[in-house]
Amino acid sequence: MTASTPVVSGGGPLLGVRVLDLTTFLSGPSASQLLGDLGADVIKVEAPEGDMTRTVPPYFVGPDSAYYLANNRNKSSIVINLKTAEGCRLLERLAGEVDIVIENYRPGVLKRLGLAVPELLVRHPALIWASISGFGQDGPWCDRPAYDLIVQALSGAMSLTGEPDGRPVRLGIPVGDLVAGLYAVIGLLAAWADRLRSGSGRWVDVAMLDSQLAMLSYQAVYNTVGGVTPAAQGNRHDSIPTYRTFVGSDGRELAVTASTQRMFEELCHALGLPELIDDPRFVDPAGRLANRVELWELLEKEFAAAPAAAWVERLGERRVPAALIKNVPEAIQDARESDRGMVREMTHPDGRRVEVLGNPVKFRGEPRGELRYPPPLGEHTSKILTNLLGLPSDHIAHLTADGVIYQGPG
């Protein structure tokens, strides 16, 4: 591997780590974006038609879709046509010049292109390779396509979402994709740490379904230990009856998480119901759970007597966690005002600006790094081939003319 200057300069704890990003849509791009946020030099490899999210409607800033802008900052872009033999050879050469490759092809696709991962790892033993797929690199479903909705359905997550006795509901955020991306980053960082010790790479295999199953957490163990079938809880909790939402007199909802004995007692005082503390039905967690319907009726009646915001303030004074249920614009405005760097602005060289969500990983005492605008298709093709592979300009021109690569603006 070379020690040449990063294609796109940046800074952070992963400065000097070079990543070849072969991913599309969401699970992979969200993972590689996080690596870029942490300082890695991320080279996004795209087909001539580009990542399909570049054109996802309905919102655009200039020619770029909001979807694409949300997941592709801090990267450079090279276009290689992997339907050509020369394109596949270029990709393998690039793999030999990076530390990490991350891809989310369906298992078997790369092998059909002559890019079998085990063989690549033999030729490049220090390379760390991460494969994100719907169902993993082996098993009976490995060759099936998968999307967020599919793994939410198969994992049981949808059966837990929605109101009791209602229909299963897809989570409003694409957790199947995003969680797989996060697990891929965890695996990559673990493999990187091991390579610093051993000098050897690894193949990280992350399945979207596995990742979603892992998110079931205690609900899965409730099934394996208790023999129950966990079901949708709405805005309630299977085990803690005072961990739920309530409605104030203004119709606004608030979330309350009175999960300890102290919090329950303070909740009762805040609502003007101190007699519930010693009520035999509610004196301990088991009793409150067994008599939750009666408890809810009493609490709901009191919450309906004042606006939700007033209850949030009153409960906060007694150190009972509570919050208004915000919509997305309200949550984003709160984030702006908190100055935690979770709403950031990216500026295109032509002056276009867009607000995006920032990196939740902070390093105390260090400045927030610049967010580099997602690249136009093929913007860095020539630069990458020159800097990493040492290809002369006439060879690059020949590859362009043959349709092996595409050179975008820049």
**Strand locations in 57-210, DSSP E?**
60-61, 64-65, 75-80, 100-103, 128-133, 203-207
**Best CA proximity match to 379, nearest among 359, 352, 406:** 406
Contact by Cβ (8 Å): 94, 102: no
Contact by Cβ (8 Å): 30, 73: no
Instruction: Respond yes or no: is residue 177 known to be catalytic.
Output: yes
Q: Give the active site residue among 21, 41, 51, 177.
A: 177
3-state secondary structure 274-295: HHHCCCCCCCCHHHHHHCHHHH
Contact by Cβ (8 Å): 408, 379: yes
Residue with tokens 């394996």: 224
Tell me the sheet residues that pair with 245.
255
3-state secondary structure 309-332: HHHHHHHHHCCCCEEECCCHHHHH
**Rounded to an integer, what distance in angstroms lies between the CA atom of residue 261 and that of residue 242?**
10
- Catalytic positions, written as ranges: 177
